[in-house]
């Protein structure tokens, strides 16, 4: 897998005056209010704040899952606002690995097949996919568990499979939404160690939403969202 640090230059992520609103019937619900943010390549950033403050919404905008109501979101050299849905999907597949609190593994697929899923959207042939999947499982310490189904794995192992799936396509950016929120303290610490390794050894840029101050200490920097406003 490639080293994601690159050579300086413009930030990997650049948000300018980003607003997000949702409509509920006749009402407009503001979620983000004028977010401006730069994130360098290779940075590990934690986002904290109360429930409903807009943390997951901000991740979704940066990950190309949602679009801002106003403002510009530029990631890895692309203005995401300007991409049509098909180009945005292709951009996401190339640049973003997603890690979720509840793993989002497919129960009827083995660990190997779950990790392979993002590669089915690429032009890699079966031997190339096999090499990538084996490398990703090796990175998370699950070489011998590739034939196991999610129900046969512990919560910590399931999250490791989810992280292997997130990194298997060698994305530019990892977006983690409460990655330790469903784990006990021992497994949570192992996942944080793994994220730090991905950041320090492979230079992966990581954005992590967390409610846990201990988890946030793994990041280089922590920012706080409160009522849609970003604070240091």
Per-residue confidence (pLDDT) for residue 4, from 0 to 100:
60
Please say whether the beta carbons of 209 and 47 come within 8 A: yes
Domain-embedded: residue 20: no
Please choose, from the candidates 118, 9, 117, 18, the residue with its C-alpha nearest in 3D space to the C-alpha of residue 70: 18
Please choose, from the candidates 175, 231, 229, 232, the residue with its C-alpha nearest in 3D space to the C-alpha of residue 18: 229
pLDDT at 3 over 80: no
Domain-embedded: residue 68: no
Domain-embedded: residue 171: yes
Please say whether the beta carbons of 196 and 176 come within 8 A: no
- pLDDT-based confidence at residue 227 (cuts at 50, 70, 90): confident
Number of domain units in the chain: 1
Q: What predicted TM-score, i.e. pTM, was given to this entire model?
A: 0.90
Report d(CA 54, CA 64) in Å as an integer.
15
Q: For residue 49, give its domain range.
A: 42-55+84-231
Q: Render pLDDT for 46-81 as a digit per residue (tens, 0 to 9).
A: 999 998 889 999 999 999 999 999 999 999 989 998
Domain-embedded: residue 100: yes
The pLDDT > 90 percentage for the chain reads 78
Per-residue confidence (pLDDT) for residue 158, from 0 to 100:
94
What value does the mean pLDDT take over residues 121-145? 92
Per-residue confidence (pLDDT) for residue 51, from 0 to 100:
87
Domain-embedded: residue 191: yes
pLDDT at 99 over 60: yes
Q: Render pLDDT for 198-215 as a digit per residue (tens, 0 to 9).
A: 999 999 999 999 999 999
Per-residue confidence (pLDDT) for residue 8, from 0 to 100:
55
Domain-embedded: residue 29: no
Bridge-partner residues for 140, per DSSP?
Answer: none
Distances (CA, A) of 203 to 58, 102, 133, 147, 187: 22, 25, 19, 29, 23
> Which CATH number does the domain housing residue 168 bear?
3.40.50.300
Domain-embedded: residue 17: no
Per-residue confidence (pLDDT) for residue 35, from 0 to 100:
94
User: What does 27-49 look like in DSSP terms, one character per residue?
Assistant: EEEEEEEEEEEEE-TT-EEEEE-
Assigned token pair, 124:
């890699």
Per-residue confidence (pLDDT) for residue 156, from 0 to 100:
93
Bridge-partner residues for 179, per DSSP?
Answer: none
């Amino acid at each position: 897998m490639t080293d994601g640090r690159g050579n300086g230059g413009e930030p990997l992520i650049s948000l300018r005056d980003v607003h997000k609103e949702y409509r509920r019937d006749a009402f407009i619900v503001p979620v983000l209010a004028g977010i401006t943010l730069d994130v360098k390549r290779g940075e590990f950033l934690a986002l904290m704040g109360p429930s409903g403050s807009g943390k997951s919404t901000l991740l979704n905008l940066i990950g190309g899952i949602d679009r801002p109501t106003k403002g510009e979101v530029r990631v890895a050299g692309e203005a995401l606002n300007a991409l049509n849905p098909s180009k945005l999907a292709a951009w996401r597949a190339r640049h973003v690995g997603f890690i979720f609190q509840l793993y989002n593994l497919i129960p009827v697929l083995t660990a190997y097949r779950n990790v392979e899923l993002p590669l089915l959207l690429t032009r890699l042939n079966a031997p190339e996919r096999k090499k990538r999947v084996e490398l990703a499982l090796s990175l998370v310490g699950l070489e011998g568990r590739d034939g196991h189904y999610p129900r046969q794995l512990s919560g910590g192992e399931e999250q490791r499979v989810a992280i292997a799936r997130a990194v298997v396509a060698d994305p530019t950016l990892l977006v983690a939404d409460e990655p330790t929120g469903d784990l006990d303290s021992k497994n949570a610490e192992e996942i944080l160690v793994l994220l730090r390794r991905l950041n320090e050894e492979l230079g992966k840029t990581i954005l992590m939403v967390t409610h846990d101050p201990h988890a946030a200490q793994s990041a280089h920097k922590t920012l706080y969202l409160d009522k849609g406003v970003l604070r240091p």
